Amino acid sequence: MNPLAEQLNTNLSNGNPNALDLLSSVGKQLFFPKGILSQSAEAKEKAHAINATIGIAREEGDIMCFPSVMEGLAYRPDESLTYAPSFGIPELRKAWQASLFEKNPSLAEKTISLPVVTCGITHAISVFAEMWCNAGDTVILPDMMWGNYNLIMNVRLGIQLRHYPIFTPEGGFNVEGLMEQVRDEADRTGKAIVLLNFPQNPTGYAISQKEASELIAGLKTVAESGSRLLVATDDAYFGLFYEEETLKESLFALFANLHENILALKLDGATKENYVWGLRVGFMTYGTKISGDPAPFYEALERKTAGCIRGNISNASHLGQRIVLKSMQDTRNKKEHAQKYEVLKARAARVKDVLKDPRYTGAFTPYPFNAGYFMCVRLKDLEAEPLRLHLLETYGVGLIALGKYDIRVAFSCIEEDEVKPLFDTLLQGILDLKDSN
């Protein structure tokens, strides 16, 4: 093993040896190399005369560039065209960490890592899988889930996905169904890896405060029994909570520092929170209970994470990070967030209002939803894919078929006045297919 990796592992063991044990075989061997990047970073700080370290081109004291590129940017070349660190731009990492404390009051008095910047949340999930899961390991997920989890974890890395029904018969989050899987996995292997996604894709469900308390108590009991738990929260749609009973914080804030056997990992980003899908700016942040000084422990995790990124894509887009940072520093940012939130909340409310119409009850049943971008319906007498194709080809209406009987509606991308026509067309499509059979 590389001596740098050995030193990082020592730092992890000193702070919380359970975190070291949870790392995959790849994760244990990861380090951030003291090669070109670290030497260039030192030179950037100290080489005041001549710096001939980094693989970029300069001229006349600035970054070499095409005017045809820069004319479309409101940023200097050194703010946009240079390589970003594999960890991410330091100012952005600090700004995002500060925002986590602001958005999650339960983090007060807790220590967490500086976020490491990824190329979107999809990349963050991929790094999580590589660092923390070996082929054959199991990740526990609900039966209704974002399909790309399967491609990232199972298809690419041979990770097994273990499912539980997401909802109880009463229509709430199935805490006990999840806990049954966790307890069984912990009994079999001594550990459990759980991936939570609230607000959820595809259902648009956010966990309630009561359900969150039950989940935290259940996982803490498993941890107290001696099993090691890795709890990752995919917070892609964080902040889009539309009803009073929903938990308004990330579960990460409640798991961080809960128990030495629980390592919490937050996967989030500007993608949906700041409405910049194509900029591909995501983050990975760690939190756990640590003995002694937390700085060496979290630095070790950050360096391993950055090493994984360095060995994959090298770094996320400098320009994308800079745009996000500038927006976060803008005095209009909070007002902009509030305005967009109200737009999406109104669309969700309109969906709920329209679905009260009893005409729909014989054709489909809505799944519970209270947050995020999406909601789903369960068809009663038809399969989803033939209906999807019929709606698209006959009425020019596009929806997503999930599994055999489920349809996903992205109300995030339709206007309020399109909601009723959409569901009326969905109903008409169902009637068309019934009449033709």
15-39 per-position pLDDT tens digit: 999 999 999 999 999 898 776 566 6
125-172 per-position pLDDT tens digit: 999 999 999 999 999 999 999 999 999 999 999 999 999 999 999 999
The band of 49, judged by pLDDT with boundaries at 50, 70 and 90, is low
pLDDT in the model for residue 46: 75
The band of 48, judged by pLDDT with boundaries at 50, 70 and 90, is low
Percent pLDDT > 70 in the chain is 94
Question: CB–CB of 15/290 below 8 Å?
Answer: yes
Please determine, for residue 328, whether its predicted confidence score (pLDDT) is greater than 80.
yes
The band of 6, judged by pLDDT with boundaries at 50, 70 and 90, is very high
Tell me whether domains 3-32+86-329 and 334-436 share a fold: no
User: What whole-number distance in Å separates Cα of residue 310 and Cα of residue 78?
Assistant: 21
161-181 per-position pLDDT tens digit: 999 999 999 999 999 999 999
Q: For the residues 245-264, what does the mean pLDDT come to?
A: 97
Please determine, for residue 214, whether its predicted confidence score (pLDDT) is greater than 90.
yes
Please determine, for residue 52, whether its predicted confidence score (pLDDT) is greater than 90.
no
pLDDT in the model for residue 371: 96
Two tokens, residue 97: 């960490």
The band of 78, judged by pLDDT with boundaries at 50, 70 and 90, is confident
For the chain, give the mean pLDDT: 92
Domain ranges of the chain: 3-32+86-329, 334-436
**pTM score > 0.85 for this model?**
yes
Which residues are within 8 A (CB) of 178 and not within 5 positions of it... i.e. 6 or more apart?
140, 142, 164, 194, 215, 218
The band of 54, judged by pLDDT with boundaries at 50, 70 and 90, is low
Kindly indicate whether the domain formed by 3-32+86-329 is annotated with CATH number 3.40.640.10: yes
User: What whole-number distance in Å separates Cα of residue 19 and Cα of residue 135?
Assistant: 18
User: What whole-number distance in Å separates Cα of residue 91 and Cα of residue 168?
Assistant: 44
283-313 per-position pLDDT tens digit: 999 999 999 999 999 999 999 999 999 999 9
Please determine, for residue 106, whether its predicted confidence score (pLDDT) is greater than 90.
yes
344-393 per-position pLDDT tens digit: 999 999 999 999 999 999 999 999 999 999 999 999 989 999 999 999 99
Q: Give how far Cα 384 sits from Cα of 151, 288, 366, 390, 407, Å.
A: 22, 43, 14, 10, 6
pLDDT in the model for residue 425: 95
pLDDT in the model for residue 72: 73
* Residue 202 identity (one-letter amino acid): P
User: What whole-number distance in Å separates Cα of residue 12 and Cα of residue 33?
Assistant: 18
Q: For the residues 329-347, what does the mean pLDDT come to?
A: 91
Q: For the residues 268-283, what does the mean pLDDT come to?
A: 92
According to CATH, what is the number of the domain 334-436? Answer: 3.90.1150.10
